[in-house]
Amino acid sequence: MDSLLIERLVGMPWIAQHPIAYPALEVVHIAGIAMLLGSLLVLELRVWGLGQALPVRPLARLALSISVSGFGVVVLSGFLMFAANPAELLSNNAFLLKLGLVHLAALNAAWFHGRDSLGRCDGLARAQTVLSTGLWLAAIICGRWIAYL
């Protein structure tokens, strides 16, 4: 797709030019990441056996509602940052890798819940939590690299 067409379709260059808008979006994006990853880590540690006094399913309802809310914040703020300069981001390998890692993390989450890993808390469930954390951390690293590539 032509970069000029991309700019016309989703471009919001005023975001990049505004003295506060882009940095504020970055702060919101990081807060969303904290909500997403922080609550996932609590649940994943429970799958590993920590906090056994806490029932898995009620903890999961709380943690996942926070994670989904955080993901929503990340998607909205991320789209607005993307709209500030879409053509540049679409040519950035770190950005493309980040999107791929987020997609893999979502597939892993669907697999985790589809096989009822919360009900099992078995070796595969624990492996899925390690994969989840690894994918999200790799996506965060790629997000930081975007500015340097």
Is the pTM value of this prediction over 0.75?
yes
DSSP for the chain reads: --HHHHHHHH--HHHHHSTTHHHHHHHHHHHHHHHHHHHHHHHHHHHTTTTTTS-HHHHHHHHHHHHHHHHHHHHHHHHHHHHHSHHHHHT-HHHHHHHHHHHHHHHHHHHHHHTTHHHH--HHHHHHHHHHHHHHHHHHHHHHHGGG-
Give the per-residue pLDDT at 20: 85
How confident is the model over 49-71, as pLDDT tens digits? Answer: 999 999 999 999 999 999 999 99
Give the per-residue pLDDT at 1: 53
